[in-house]
Amino acid sequence: MNHLSLIIKREYLTKVRNKSFIIMTILSPIIMIALIAVVAYLSQLNNNKERTISILDESGLMSSVFENTEHTTYNVLNSLSLEEAKALVEENEEYGLLHIGKGTNINAVAKTIKFYSEDTPSLTLISNLESKLEKQLTDLKLQQGGVDVEKIKDSKTSINIAQESYAGEKTSKIDNIVKLAFGGIAGYLLFMFIIIYGNMIMRSVIEEKTSRIIEIIISSVKPIQLMMGKIIGTSLAGITQFVIWLILGSILMFVVSAIFGINMAEMQTPQQEVMQQAMASQDVQMQAQNMMAAIYNLPLTNMIVAFVLFFIGGYLLYSSLYAAIGAAVDNETDTQQFMMPILVPLILAVYVGVFTVIEDPHGTVSTVFSFIPLTSPVVMLMRIPFGVPLWQQLISLGLLIGTFMFTVWFAAKIYRVGILMYGKKPSYKDIYKWLKY
């Protein structure tokens, strides 16, 4: 066996046999899923609270508006004064009292509406009430104006603009959302991977320095072999961990939703809301079909190939920098000053990806950032689902590979000198000097 594969094997085995690694691998998805389940459960619990709301409608306009739901009972009060109603509601420990006053016209009535309660009422409840009242009052106004409400409802038309490029490629809003999701996941995955396993590489280099084994090793192998072996071995351990997370996570997700009957899909995040708005006008089956069609329409081959290439390129680029930092310092606390130049472009890449690619995947900013090697892996991965010309991908990849080779050379130089330097916390100036050793 040659040196490199020996080193890779050792790095991989020590990583995956490490107790904290094993615990993290098993525990992380459990904790994640448990957290999601708890949050879902709690928010359901919160919404599920039975509550009674009394309605004192002095205007007589709202008789048919409030229908009891599973969790909310509406108690319509009649012929009580406001003060009596308040006292009654308080005595019965009801959630609150909605008061609709008298008025000469609808606008005047609208201004009298008030909600009384012991504590501040929940935001969703208020907006729910507001929308009910608004709808009723608007309908009434339309009727007063002699408009047939039914006709208006009938006349509502739902539009989903079909998009087609000159070349005949069809897209739609759902397509775009699917693309965004895929690109976002790919970019974010790379970002997370770099942060987690880059750090792991750095720590492993520092460990070799602090345990003083480094000189024994490099009297047998070239520093660059050791560095590359470390990067590859750690990455393989990382991939193993990711795959286990993925499998364990899906199983747990399935089990948890089956047992607790929590529909995870009901959990709303702002992103999902955007998606739902886009789909609001379509029935479920249509939605599913459109989704499938959208996924099918993605440049899947291109995405997979690009994902692999940019992932490897971007990851190696950053991890060699992490290795160099690990070599330059004696302990983890000294790494802070060198982390900035790594983290800034990485975070920038994610922000640029998230904000500008959504806005315009082929705009100037996102295009430029998908060429700059330190940001290109993340940004390009986010752009590719929207269809990036091959020449752009190739140039970006070429630049990435070039930079990657330069970084590895640079990191190897620092590594070679740094691993034998003990005691002194190096400055940027020192490191610049090392390049000339």
Q: Which residues make up the interface to other proteins (CB under 8 A)?
A: 1, 3, 6-7, 10, 14, 18, 207-208, 211-213, 215-222, 420, 422, 433, 436-437
Q: Who contacts 78 (Cβ-Cβ below 8 Å, separation ≥6)?
A: none
Closer Cβ to other proteins, 142 or 221, answer by number: 221
Per the CB < 8 A criterion, the answer to whether 404 and 373 are in contact is: yes
Per the CB < 8 A criterion, the answer to whether 117 and 97 are in contact is: yes
Secondary structure class of 114 (helix, strand, coil): strand
Q: Is the dihedral of CA 127, 128, 130, 131 positive or negative?
A: positive
How far does CA 288 lie from the centroid of its chain?
Answer: 22
Instruction: Give the length of the chain.
Output: 437
Closer Cβ to other proteins, 14 or 136, answer by number: 14
CB of 217 to other proteins, least distance (A): 7
Closer Cβ to other proteins, 25 or 297, answer by number: 25
Closer Cβ to other proteins, 2 or 155, answer by number: 2
Token pair in block for residue 364: 């100037």
β-pairing, 96-100 with 72-77?
unpaired
Closer Cβ to other proteins, 89 or 323, answer by number: 323
CB of 1 to other proteins, least distance (A): 7
CB of 304 to other proteins, least distance (A): 36
CB of 328 to other proteins, least distance (A): 15
Q: Kindly list the distances between the CA atom of residue 272 and the CA atoms of 14, 174, 179, 219, 296, in Å, as whole numbers in the listed order.
A: 41, 12, 14, 56, 21
CB of 333 to other proteins, least distance (A): 19
Per the CB < 8 A criterion, the answer to whether 64 and 95 are in contact is: no
CB of 330 to other proteins, least distance (A): 12
- Whole-number Å distance between alpha carbons of 152 and 142: 10
Token pair in block for residue 391: 């020449």
CB of 404 to other proteins, least distance (A): 24
Closer Cβ to other proteins, 20 or 120, answer by number: 20
**Can you name the residues that pair with 100 across neighbouring β-strands?**
57
Closer Cβ to other proteins, 10 or 135, answer by number: 10
The CA angle 386-390-395, to the nearest 5 degrees, is 115
**Can you name the residues that pair with 41 across neighbouring β-strands?**
none
Closer Cβ to other proteins, 391 or 437, answer by number: 437
Q: Who contacts 194 (Cβ-Cβ below 8 Å, separation ≥6)?
A: 314, 315, 318, 319, 346
CB of 180 to other proteins, least distance (A): 43
